[in-house]
Amino acid sequence: MTKAELVAKIAREVNVPKAAANRAVDSFIDGITTALRQGEKVTFVGFGTFTVVHRKAKMGRNPRTGAPLTIKAKRVVKFKPGAKLSAVVS
């Protein structure tokens, strides 16, 4: 599902214009992004939890040449599905 498909589904189900649904989706994404940027955990009971974790620097290999290289440390977003989502998917 793309963002456009999600916006169309929300607009249809809530009976609002697509522009309003798009603003709502943008606001939702912005709220999650802002919280994660500040290092907060974002939890939707039954759906899942987004957290930011720190990955340490590590050694890797260039797949083309096989030469060793250093992969820099970075912060990444981790998602853990909730019980209801896991039950529906499995």
Domain at 71, CATH number: 4.10.520.10
Whole-prediction pTM: 0.78
Query: Hey, is 57 helix, strand or coil?
Result: coil
Contact 18, 7 (CB under 8 A): yes
Domain count, the chain: 1
Tokens at residue 17, please? Answer: 């214009």
Q: What is the mean pLDDT of the chain?
A: 96
Is 89 among the domain residues? Answer: no
Checking if the pLDDT of 22 tops 90, the result is: yes
DSSP 17-43: -HHHHHHHHHHHHHHHHHHHHTT--EE
Can you give the pLDDT at residue 90? 86
The domain containing residue 37 runs over which residues? 3-83
pLDDT-derived band of residue 39, with 50, 70 and 90 as boundaries? Answer: very high
